[in-house]
Structure 1
Amino acid sequence: MPLGQVLELEQELELELELEQEQEQEQEQEQEQEQEQEQVQVQPPPCRWSCPSLR
């Protein structure tokens, strides 16, 4: 195989890897956002209800 073709193949592979990594990062960010939303729902009521010192 000529060197030019090899280099082109390597570049294509690198581009594919970069795309995969970007997609994985986006998925991770979406999962983190979902987890944050869940945590917000689970949190106790605001402090003014639970902290006697602020009453």
Structure 2
Amino acid sequence: MYKVPGSGVAVGTGLGSLAATGAGVTWWVVAGVVLLVSGLFLTHSVRRRRAIADE
């Protein structure tokens, strides 16, 4: 494992190490949640349209 100089934390061992490296974890978590919610919404919309078209 690679250690960030001066941090004493190995990179890749968890969120704590990402915070120690200065990586913007919050941005990635928010982007993931937004993509997940939009994907669920689009899937629901398409399934509803197909159900109406099949009637």
Q: TM-score range by the shorter chain?
A: 0.5 to 0.7
Which has more helix, going by share of residues?
1
User: Of the two structures, which has the highest relative contact order with CA contacts closer than 8 Å and spacing of 6 or more?
Assistant: 2
Q: Which runs of 4+ in 1 moved over 3 A?
A: none
Structure of larger gyration radius: 1
RMSD between aligned alpha carbons?
A: 2.1
Q: Which runs of 5+ in 1 are unaligned?
A: 41-55
TM-score by length of 1: 0.58
1:3 corresponds to 2:20: yes
TM-score by length of 2: 0.58
Q: Give the whole-Å Cα distance in 2 for the aligned partners of 1:4 and 1:21.
A: 26
Q: Which runs of 5+ in 2 are unaligned?
A: 1-18
Q: Give the whole-Å Cα distance in 1 for the aligned partners of 2:33 and 2:21.
A: 21
